[in-house]
Structure 1
Amino acid sequence: MSRNEDLDLEEDITLLISKVLASIREQIQWVVAIESGPVAPEVDKMLAQFDERNDYHSIVLHQRVITNKTDGLNPRELQLFISSYDLIIRLLNKLGHRLGLVMLEDWINEHLNNLLESLDHAFQLVENIVDPTESCSASDALKDVMKVQHDSEHAHLKFLRKLYSVDRGARILTQAEAIDLTIMEAIDQTSRLAQRSLVLFKNSSNTV
């Protein structure tokens, strides 16, 4: 994992945001790995490093707004973007510390892993909004994020119905539902981040 020093406080704000988003996506992929296999002894250390790096990135972004070094981006819209970012990193931190605490049935783990994969895909699409490609425009990426959110909501409701269809014990129910809801909240916030990203960078291109 890269160190904090790889961020240049004075670099172009779009490049800075791209680095911050890539950092979050790295953490999402690490959370997916935790859910997919046995929890390694170094997990706590890795989570602490992510916490430290996320806090640093948040401070850097807030500082750019405070000092009005937004390189043409609307400061208010950038602040809304940062607010969504801050919520997502808190949810990811919560997820990292929850996973692996209770042994869950295979079908529950499969559902949670699928949701995490959806979160990873949605966040990849946010990166495409900030830095569009020929094969994926910003508006197309947003549509795909909304579809991921819709499909995840459907899977979430189906999961809850099955989870509560039989008595599974309080610990399993509490843990499974808590992780499911946290991932869903992260997906919802990623959808909001995608919408704010489109507004932020669309308005920027109109003012240049």
Structure 2
Amino acid sequence: MTGARFITFEGIDGSGKSTQARRLADTLRSRGDDIVLTREPGGAPGAEEIRRLLVEGDPDRWSPETEILLFTAARRDHLETTIAPALHRGATVISDRFADSTRVYQGAARGDLRDLVDRLHDMVISREPDLTLVIDMDPEIALNRGLARASGEDRFEDMGLDFQRRLRAGFLDLAREHGLRCRLIDGNRPADEVAADVLKAVDA
């Protein structure tokens, strides 16, 4: 058994981070760990309602500023309802996205709003992961993979390849900026190889 840990996965749409989050959760559960696997936006009933507003519909549905407010509201509910109680009881929380996605998507790729993102985060979230695994993937391959899912939650994929390239650059910058908690994982490989590197980073 291990103590409470908060682990997040980040990366562009279609990078495989959701698959890797599930695989890590399964592996740690098999070791006997208490694991909570969750996601953003979402991860709690109220946050899931906000998720539908954010990931469905026209790409121009919301301004970047409105998106930041919606994501922050969903994150606060997620933190209060799911993340904080799990960590308090000693569980490991694995989240498919957290605040870093807002820093990149709305704070960098959709406008120079990083300062607004950080100020809101400091005021109402004030929590960082213990470890963040950034799955790096070729944007064109990831976009084709994401669109092929046809999940109906493809509002950000519909923003196109140039947007995905800006996202990738943003995540690479973020991994460098937060080098103490971020580990960059090459996602352009078979899933088993990626999973092995993920587990190595977590065990380290």
Query: Normalising TM by the smaller chain, what interval?
Result: 0.3 to 0.5
The answer to which structure has the higher strand fraction is: 2
The answer to which structure has the higher helix fraction is: 1
Structure 2 length normalisation: TM-score? Answer: 0.33
Structure 1 length normalisation: TM-score? Answer: 0.32
Between structure 1 and structure 2, the one with the greater Rg is: 1
